[in-house]
Chains A and B, each alone.
Chain A
Amino acid sequence: MTKNRLNANFQMGQRYGSHPQDGKYPGRLIIVEGIDGSGKSTQIDLLGKWLKRLGYVTVFTEWNSSPIVKRTTKRGKQERMLTPMSFSLIHSADFASRVYTQIIPALKSGTIVLADRYVYTAFARDSARGVNRDWLRRVYSFAIRPSLAFYFKVPLDESIRRIVTGRDQLGFYESGQDLGLSASREESFRIFQGRLLEEYDRLTEEYGLITIDATETIAVQQQKVREYVEPLLPGIMQFDNHTVPDALARTGLSGRYLPPAGYRRLTDPILTEG
């Protein structure tokens, strides 16, 4: 299997569907997918730390986190106002907002964007709720195609074991209880997550997601992920990890307008995680 999924025709900045293309972006977009309890968030976190240690500028974005939209989503969930279609639409608004305010600017500036969940989460969850598959793809056609898309595949029992031991109560929508699958939240969760696994299998086929066996140890999985990522790194924006005062000190300048060398302000790190 090729370690680099970037085929000859791939150009960072391409959309899934016919939307205005505004050129080739110098950055990289790496996304992770998988059901709850697959360990994908752990893996992307480890990947981010490794990349930062190597001196690469990374920007992290996660599902359902747009500051403008998420209040509405939260309220809709709390009051259980969301139906499959409005659930789908409000998440697409959240995603669009992050594409335009976080992802595209970061890719244009040449950084590595790490996304915890991407369009495939919408495709899997909304299809499992009965939303039209073809329509979903057209709604999300504005999204930027990723450089690498990992799918952390885990059997249902294993993911449930991890969630039960490590997390708070299951949510109403996370368990698919809005679909009336079962009166028991646990049972509903099991049925809904099972459906998501089937959807992810379809998506793996359709989009060539890189499947990582999520039952292996965290270290082994991370090693595999890094092998895919490594060939993408040459040419990516790096920064020397110095603070502003350090940089000033190296110029040999001093004076009343410049802080003394070694002096740190809270805001000193030049670039922090987005």
Chain B
Amino acid sequence: MPVKTPAFYGHIPLKLGDKPLPGRLIVIEGTDGVGRSTQIGLLKEWLETEGFAVSDTGFRRSDLTGNGIDRAKRGHILDHLTLNLFYATDFWDRMERSILPALEAGMVILGDRYIFSIMARARVRGVPAHWLDDVLEFAMVPDQIYFLDVDVEHLLPRVMANRELDHWESGEDFLREPDRYASFVRYQSALIKEFRNLANQYGFETIDARRSVREVFEDLQKGVWTVLEDMKS
């Protein structure tokens, strides 16, 4: 199995670049309710059938900061810089203690969101983009980033069919709209726009997520199969 040394978006944090990593990191980005976790579930089932060791647990809240972030968000007392540095800590902790070891062990990591969700949410809230890009430059460059692209018109029925509109997913922490529907539309439109900017800046593979789950999955299957080409023995 070919082994490669990892690449990072900025400086190499603390000699991590020396470690050979036989695993692969595949990330799915996209806005709330676009179907990321559905697709990851499908990919995991499929890849395990094909004989790969797959992990999709790596990017849940870390032990270190999970509680602290939830506590702080409940209080609504965090300025945007502090909150994002908290997210950065959380992200690094997961990367260092769960993603890198899994990659060293030769697993395929399916990441539900990556640094780009943090960036998109921060940018629409007015955090200087260059600053947060700098902070998060310690992240490893994934082997592939898939962006599930959707417009608000197609997103709305999907979200409405599953649950009620969420406070954070409607940007109510900083927007002042007459109702949650208006807030959701405005916030998600801005968020999707930022994701598209990031797709250009960081070279995402964009997938049209207005289509059915089946069609999106077929596109992902084709792409992932190519990414894992040289892992197949």
Interface string of A46-78 (1 = CB under 8 A from B): 000000000000000000001011011001100
In the complex, the answer to whether B81 meets A142 with C-beta atoms within 8 Å is yes
In the complex, the answer to whether A135 meets B96 with C-beta atoms within 8 Å is no
Q: Which of B13, B64, B71, B78 contacts A76 (CB 8 A)?
A: B64
- Chain A residues 108 to 133 lying within 8 A of chain B, measured CB to CB, are 130-132
**Complex alpha-carbon distance, A71 and B85, angstroms:** 15
Interface string of A1-32 (1 = CB under 8 A from B): 00000000000000001111000000000000
22 contacts between A and B (CB under 8 A): A17-B131, A19-B128, A20-B128, A68-B75, A69-B72, A72-B64, A72-B67, A81-B64, A84-B14, A85-B14, A85-B92, A86-B64, A86-B96, A89-B92, A90-B89, A93-B88, A100-B79, A100-B81, A131-B13, A131-B14, A138-B134, A141-B131
In the complex, the answer to whether B96 meets A139 with C-beta atoms within 8 Å is no
Q: Which of B67, B86, B130 contacts A69 (CB 8 A)?
A: B86
Q: With a CB–CB cut-off of 8 A, which chain B residues contact A135?
A: 10-11, 134, 137-138
Question: A-side interface residues toward B, CB under 8 Å?
Answer: 17-20, 66, 68-69, 71-72, 75-76, 81-86, 89-90, 92-93, 96-97, 99-101, 130-132, 134-135, 138-139, 141-142
- For the complex of A and B, 7 pairs with smallest distance between CB atoms: A72-B68, A93-B85, A89-B89, A100-B79, A97-B82, A138-B134, A96-B81
In the complex, the answer to whether A101 meets B68 with C-beta atoms within 8 Å is no
Q: With a CB–CB cut-off of 8 A, which chain B residues contact A92?
A: 85
Query: A117: shortest Cβ distance to chain B, in Å?
Result: 17
Q: With a CB–CB cut-off of 8 A, which chain B residues contact A138?
A: 131, 134-135
Q: With a CB–CB cut-off of 8 A, which chain B residues contact A131?
A: 13-14
Main secondary structure of the interface of A (DSSP, over half): helix
Taking the complex as formed, is B221 at the interface, i.e. its CB lies under 8 A from any CB of chain A? no
- Chain B residues 76 to 103 lying within 8 A of chain A, measured CB to CB, are 77-79, 81-82, 85-86, 88-89, 92-93, 96
Query: B85: shortest Cβ distance to chain A, in Å?
Result: 4
Q: With a CB–CB cut-off of 8 A, which chain A residues contact B130?
A: 18
In the complex, the answer to whether A93 meets B96 with C-beta atoms within 8 Å is no
**Complex alpha-carbon distance, A17 and B132, angstroms:** 13
List the B residue with the shortest CB-CB distance to A20: B128
In the complex, the answer to whether B72 meets A68 with C-beta atoms within 8 Å is yes
In the complex, the answer to whether B134 meets A97 with C-beta atoms within 8 Å is no
Q: Which of B14, B71, B78, B79 contacts A130 (CB 8 A)?
A: B14
Q: With a CB–CB cut-off of 8 A, which chain B residues contact A86?
A: 64, 89, 92-93, 96
Taking the complex as formed, is B65 at the interface, i.e. its CB lies under 8 A from any CB of chain A? yes
Q: With a CB–CB cut-off of 8 A, which chain A residues contact B138?
A: 85, 135
In the complex, the answer to whether A139 meets B134 with C-beta atoms within 8 Å is yes
Given contacts A89-B89, A90-B65, A141-B134, 17 further A-B contacts (CB under 8 A): A18-B128, A18-B130, A68-B75, A69-B86, A72-B67, A76-B64, A85-B14, A85-B92, A86-B64, A89-B85, A89-B88, A93-B88, A101-B77, A130-B15, A135-B134, A135-B138, A141-B131
Given contacts A85-B138, A86-B96, contact A68 B82 (CB under 8 A): yes
In the complex, the answer to whether B14 meets A97 with C-beta atoms within 8 Å is no
**Complex alpha-carbon distance, A137 and B86, angstroms:** 18
Q: Which of B11, B67, B79, B92 contacts A132 (CB 8 A)?
A: B11
**Complex alpha-carbon distance, A89 and B90, angstroms:** 9
In the complex, the answer to whether A97 meets B65 with C-beta atoms within 8 Å is no
In the complex, the answer to whether B85 meets A96 with C-beta atoms within 8 Å is yes
Q: With a CB–CB cut-off of 8 A, which chain A residues contact B13?
A: 85, 131-132
In the complex, the answer to whether A97 meets B63 with C-beta atoms within 8 Å is no
Query: B169: shortest Cβ distance to chain A, in Å?
Result: 23
In the complex, the answer to whether A96 meets B64 with C-beta atoms within 8 Å is no
List the A residue with the shortest CB-CB distance to B77: A68
Query: B132: shortest Cβ distance to chain A, in Å?
Result: 10
Query: B35: shortest Cβ distance to chain A, in Å?
Result: 31
Q: Which of A68, A71, A141 has the most CB of B within 10 A?
A: A68
Q: With a CB–CB cut-off of 8 A, which chain B residues contact A142?
A: 81, 131
In the complex, the answer to whether A101 meets B96 with C-beta atoms within 8 Å is no
